[in-house]
């Protein structure tokens, strides 16, 4: 099956610093990648959709200047949390799809971000 | 505004019995639905999907039923096994303004299968 990896799996950073999370599709080319955020005991909240080579589309309420998303290649997307604050602490999950149309999304294992 | 709802946050079922997880949606434009299973600190894994042109899709122990008039879908697991214990999310497909299809997830139901 298709495999999506995320790095790092856990990160602790100080308030005011920036953190980059990588999402890679290991055995397929992902034209579309998604970034989600999950709060404890809550649903997966879609933050943004990125298509390779174009700007990400952010969901309403998500600050694009705070959560920088880059999808420079068909196998890599990055999420950078800039000037992190404790309220940014969360579980961030990426997913990838081969086509921008409907189809199965393959999820990464997630990254636990803790901002102190 | 929660367009996809799972009203039961948790469900306990005896091993070998049927597990029924429910999901309701409000947007009649949704035309593709999926169920995902998630363990703690891991990403969701795909279980089964259904197109709106169908009312049932079966894959092994998993069956998804879709009732478009009621805007309701359900996931049946028969027989339930302890390894099925996880959080189950339903998701509905929606076309975004960029033309990409994105999935809207429900709030999840934690299933516990008792041995």
Q: Tell me the per-residue pLDDT of A1-37, one tens digit each, with 9 for 90 and over.
A: 688 999 999 999 999 999 999 999 998 888 889 999 9
B14-23, B46-55, B78-87, B90-99, range with the lowest pLDDT: B90-99
What mean pLDDT do residues B41-47 have?
Answer: 88
CB contact under 8 A, A100 and B100: yes
How far, in Å, CA of B77 to CA of B17, rounded?
Answer: 8
A-B Cβ pairs (cutoff 8 Å, strict): 61
B94 to chain A, minimum CA–CA distance in Å? 9
B-chain residues near A106 (CB < 8 A): 46
Tell me, yes or no, if B54 comes closer than 8 A to chain A by beta carbon.
Answer: no
Residue A6: phi and psi, rounded to 5, are -130, 145
Measured between CA atoms, how close is A67 to chain B, in angstroms? 19
Strands (E), chain A: 4-7, 10-13, 19-25, 32-38, 44-51, 57-58, 67-73, 76-81, 90-97, 106-107, 111-115
Residue B50 C-alpha, separation from nearest chain A C-alpha, in angstroms: 11
Per-residue pLDDT, averaged over A55-80, amounts to 92
Per-residue pLDDT band for A80 (boundaries 50, 70, 90) equals: very high
Cα dihedral B98/A25/B91/B19 (nearest 10) = 170
Residue-wise pLDDT for B10-43, tens only, equals 999 999 999 999 999 999 889 899 999 998 888 8
Question: Over 80: is that where the pLDDT of A100 sits?
Answer: no
């Amino acid at each position: 099956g298709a495999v999506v990896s995320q790095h790092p799996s856990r990160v602790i950073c100080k308030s005011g610093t920036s953190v980059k999370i990588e999402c890679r599709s290991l055995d397929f080319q992902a034209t579309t990648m998604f970034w989600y955020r999950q709060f404890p005991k809550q649903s997966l909240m879609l933050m943004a959709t990125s298509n390779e080579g174009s700007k990400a589309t952010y969901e309403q309420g998500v600050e694009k200047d705070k959560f920088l998303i880059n999808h420079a290649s068909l196998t890599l997307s990055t999420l950078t949390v800039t000037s992190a604050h404790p309220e940014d602490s969360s579980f961030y999950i990426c997913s990838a799809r081969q086509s921008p149309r409907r189809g199965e999304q393959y999820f990464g294992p997630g990254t636990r971000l803790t901002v102190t | 505004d929660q367009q996809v709802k799972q009203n039961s946050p948790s469900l306990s079922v005896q091993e070998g019995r049927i597990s029924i997880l429910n999901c309701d949606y409000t947007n009649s434009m949704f035309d593709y639905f999926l169920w995902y299973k998630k363990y703690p600190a891991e990403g969701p894994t795909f279980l089964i999907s259904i197109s709106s042109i169908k009312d049932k899709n079966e894959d092994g122990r998993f069956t998804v039923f879709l009732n478009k008039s009621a805007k309701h879908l359900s996931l049946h697991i028969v027989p339930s096994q302890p390894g099925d214990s996880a959080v189950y999310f339903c998701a509905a497909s929606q076309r975004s303004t960029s033309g990409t299809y994105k999935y809207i997830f429900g709030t999840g139901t934690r299933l516990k299968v008792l041995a």
